[in-house]
């Protein structure tokens, strides 16, 4: 039988044939597709024709398409629907792909062709030739996107070691291989450590203060485990409500300590040694490539450009935010003292913050949740995309799914000017132009890692006159429906859905020539702009009124409550800012060649580097670094600051809308250009084309602190 991953997908829009794929198909598929991709690269490198943009740079951009698709399928499932077998396969596949990538980046014949094209384009024009043309010797003009592809391709090879000696190339290849394996292991350890803990409670009195719908959720979890009573896990929808509402301080403490001990407990899943090994390897990689440290290496390709600028940015925000944060914590301590707590701890924060929020705004999550039914929130975000960008969403059962809880949609654009996709109206349900397939996967499962993210199964690109449209996925961990109620979201979960959907729109609206410049393939500190921008709409009364309706009665959330939501936007903003700055400063410390890590434990290092942002006593039993997946498994190493950096961008961008109307069609059209352009232009240029000026940090400070 033919491996389904190696044949053409006989599915709508060549979507992933999940019903046919079995675990045993992956490794043989990767092995075969790597061979095929190597042949494609060899054909480009050994082309007897002189090197040109088309037969070298462009040919490379389009190579390995099938391998990319299968990689996306596999690694997305490893995050959203993994099991022991998939994790085992990942340990074999990751070094295989790393070796393949290294072979490409260290292919001297291939690089010589790339360098020839690069040097030709960047050489001074001959006397009498226009500086705008490069058509001598058969070298054609390049448009702006082609120039970007050429520059990024050349830089990518140089940054991958193409100019190194043979010995250093071998060292770099070994480092990359080790990093691939260790980063993968880090994430698997965090998942295993998270799943290993649960708190079983049979006495309902121990759960005093926790709302009934949450208790039902805990009872369902116990039932699934064949236990009586209630079960609380470290999954976010289970853990956070307990920390927010449980009057039982000892319970909050136990849960907080368990959460803080993830992969920091001396077990087989402990990540402390892995952290030191990963940081050491990253430093060695940077030095081999000629950089002082890994942060210098990473930030060369970011909007921020240098560690110094990032540190200045983080320190400026820290100086401005800390007084607000200290004032906020002082208010919480007053409440805690009234309950007899002399020294407030981190496990008291969410509980007293919720008390204070209710006191100030007469709001609590459980009171608001009935007004935020998941399906209605999704309708709202779909409707916003329609209003701003003319998009239409059609649910379909024609697209195969990797789990029964996943829902699939076809997305169309109701615009006569929109480019035709190659999968136009696959189900025939819309007269618009096909834009994308969207998968949504909302509820926690044992095989799904924590958090929320957007990813893609297939990138957008144009080739041979056809516009290949993307397949986008949004994955979250919201509470499941119970026997008595649908999935109801906390307001924070509402903003999470909008955040991830902002990323999704970046992918859906992509309209570039080349896949490696498409959608979210932008500078890392620019990638959070679309996601954080969309969150702003959740606080706009004009928009909230359109969907904040009680799931049973249909009653619209009162004007008073909506106004309080808008007013509460900046509640605990100082604390949250310091928390994010702490993560950012810790990330920069790990990757700026700080020698202390060699002589300090991970815990000691973490405490020292976050001391300026600590607002509660540190606990010797806990550390967050061993579960800091963003920087040790994800792509945020030396880049966690980008969340706050993007907040400056999103605050400034939304201010533009606020000044002219939050649904202003002309501004939305300009913003759509920014989204559809992907990485084809310098992000600051894209932003200035949209806004008319560079972003101002004052926009963020005004929004956050008035």
CB atoms within 10 A of CB 417: 7
pLDDT of residue 418: 45
**Mean of pLDDT values over 452-464:** 95
Mean pLDDT of 181-207: 95
Read off the pLDDT of each residue in 605-628 and give the average, rounded to a whole number: 96
The DSSP call for residue 601 is: -
**Residue 190, helix vs strand vs coil:** helix
**CA distance readout (Å), 335 to 332, 339, 340, 357:** 5, 7, 9, 12
Q: Residue 449's pLDDT is what?
A: 87
Strands 433-441 and 471-475: parallel
What pLDDT, on the 0 to 100 scale, is given for residue 415?
A: 61
Q: At what angle do helices 307-338 and 573-591 cross, to 10 degrees?
A: 140
pLDDT of residue 137: 41
Share of the chain above pLDDT 70, in %: 95
Straight-line distance from the first to the last Cα atom of the chain, in angstroms, rounded to the nearest whole number: 65
CA–CA distance, 126 with 684 (Å, rounded to integer):
32
Mean pLDDT, rounded, of the chain: 92
Rounded CA separation 43/48 (Å): 9
> Which pLDDT tens digit goes with each residue over 290-331?
999 999 999 999 988 899 999 999 999 999 999 999 999 999
**Cα radius of gyration rounded to whole Å, the chain:** 26
DSSP-assigned states of every residue in 627-638: G-HHHHTSS-TT
**Mean pLDDT in residue range 509-527:** 94
State pTM to two decimals.
0.82
The pLDDT tens digits of the residues spanning 142-178 come to: 999 999 999 999 999 999 999 999 999 999 999 999 9
Least confident of 97-111, 127-141, 162-176, 469-483: 127-141
65, 173, 413, 500: the catalytic one is 500
Using CA atoms, how far apart are residues 70 and 643, in angstroms rounded to an integer?
A: 30
* Kind and range of the H or E run holding 437: strand 433-441
Whether 596 is catalytic: no
d(CA 690, CA 368): 36
What value does the mean pLDDT take over residues 118-134?
62
Q: Going from the N-terminus, what domains does the chain have, and what CATH number goes with each?
A: 12-105+107-159 (1.10.1370.40), 197-260 (no CATH), 370-570 (1.10.1370.40)
75-93 pLDDT, tens digit per residue, is 999 999 999 999 999 999 9
């Amino acid at each position: 039988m033919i491996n389904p991953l190696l044949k053409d997908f006989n599915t709508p829009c060549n979507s992933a044939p999940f019903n046919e794929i079995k675990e045993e198909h992956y490794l043989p598929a990767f092995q075969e597709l790597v061979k095929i991709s190597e042949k494609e690269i060899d054909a480009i490198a050994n082309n007897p024709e002189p090197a040109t943009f088309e037969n070298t740079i462009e040919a490379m951009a389009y190579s390995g398409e099938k391998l990319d698709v299968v990689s996306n399928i596999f690694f997305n499932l490893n995050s959203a629907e993994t099991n022991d077998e998939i994790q085992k396969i990942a340990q074999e596949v990751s070094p295989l792909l790393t070796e393949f990538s290294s072979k490409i980046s260290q292919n001297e014949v291939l690089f010589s062709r790339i360098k020839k094209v690069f040097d030709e384009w960047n050489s001074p024009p001959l006397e009498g030739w226009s500086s705008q043309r490069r058509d001598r010797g058969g070298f054609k003009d390049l448009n702006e996107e082609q120039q970007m592809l050429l520059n990024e391709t050349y830089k990518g090879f140089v940054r991958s070691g193409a100019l190194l000696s043979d010995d250093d190339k071998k060292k770099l290849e070994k480092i990359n291989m080790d990093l691939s394996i260790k980063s993968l292991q880090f994430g698997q350890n965090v998942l295993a450590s998270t799943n290993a803990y649960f708190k079983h409670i049979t006495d309902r009195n121990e759960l005093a203060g926790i709302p009934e719908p949450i208790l039902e959720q805990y009872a369902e979890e116990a039932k699934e485990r064949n236990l009586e009573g209630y079960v609380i896990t470290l999954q976010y929808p289970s853990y956070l409500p307990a920390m927010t509402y449980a009057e039982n301080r000892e319970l909050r403490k136990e849960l907080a300590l368990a959460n803080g001990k993830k992969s920091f407990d001396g077990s087989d899943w402990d990540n402390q040694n892995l952290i030191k090994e990963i940081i050491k390897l990253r430093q060695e990689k940077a030095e081999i490539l000629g950089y002082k440290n890994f942060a210098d290496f990473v930030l060369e390709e970011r909007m921020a450009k240098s560690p110094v600028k990032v540190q200045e940015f983080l320190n400026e925000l820290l100086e401005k935010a800390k007084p607000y944060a200290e004032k906020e914590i002082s208010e919480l301590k007053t409440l805690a003292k009234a309950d007899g707590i002399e020294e407030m701890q981190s496990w008291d924060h969410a509980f007293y913050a919720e008390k204070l929020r209710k006191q100030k705004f007469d709001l609590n999550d459980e009171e608001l949740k009935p007004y935020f039914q998941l399906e209605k929130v999704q309708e709202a975000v779909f409707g916003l995309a329609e209003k701003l960008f003319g998009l239409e969403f059609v649910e379909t059962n024609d697209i195969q799914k990797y789990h029964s809880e996943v829902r699939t949609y076809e997305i169309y654009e109701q615009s006569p000017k929109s480019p035709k996709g190659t999968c136009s109206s696959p189900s025939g349900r819309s007269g618009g132009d096909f834009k994308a397939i969207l998968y949504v996967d909302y509820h926690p499962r044992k095989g799904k890692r924590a958090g929320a993210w957007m990813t893609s199964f297939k990138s957008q690109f144009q080739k041979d006159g056809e516009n290949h449209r993307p397949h986008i996925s949004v994955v979250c961990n919201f509470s499941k429906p119970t026997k008595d109620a649908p999935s109801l979201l906390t307001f924070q979960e509402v903003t999470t859905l909008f955040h991830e959907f902002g990323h999704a729109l970046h992918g859906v609206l992509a309209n570039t020539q080349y896949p490696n410049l498409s959608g979210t393939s932008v500078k890392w500190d620019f990638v959070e702009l679309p996601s954080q921008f969309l969150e702003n709409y959740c606080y706009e009364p004009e928009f909230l009124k359109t969907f904040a309706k009680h799931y049973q009665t249909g009653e619209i959330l009162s004007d008073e409550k909506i106004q309080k939501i808008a007013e509460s936007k900046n509640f605990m903003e100082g604390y949250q800012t310091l928390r994010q700055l702490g993560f950012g400063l810790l990330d920069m410390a790990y990757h700026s060649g700080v020698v202390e890590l060699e002589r300090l434990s991970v815990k000691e290092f973490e405490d020292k580097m976050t001391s300026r942002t600590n607002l509660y006593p540190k606990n010797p039993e806990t550390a967050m670094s061993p579960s800091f997946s963003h920087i040790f498994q994800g792509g945020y190493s030396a880049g966690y600051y980008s969340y706050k950096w993007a907040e400056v961008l999103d605050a400034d961008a939304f201010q533009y809308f606020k000044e002219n109307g939050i649904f202003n069609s002309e501004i939305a059209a300009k913003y759509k250009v920014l989204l559809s352009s992907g990485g084809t232009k310098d992000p600051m240029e894209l932003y200035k084309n949209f806004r008319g000026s560079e972003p101002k940090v004052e926009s963020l400070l005004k929004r956050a602190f008035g």
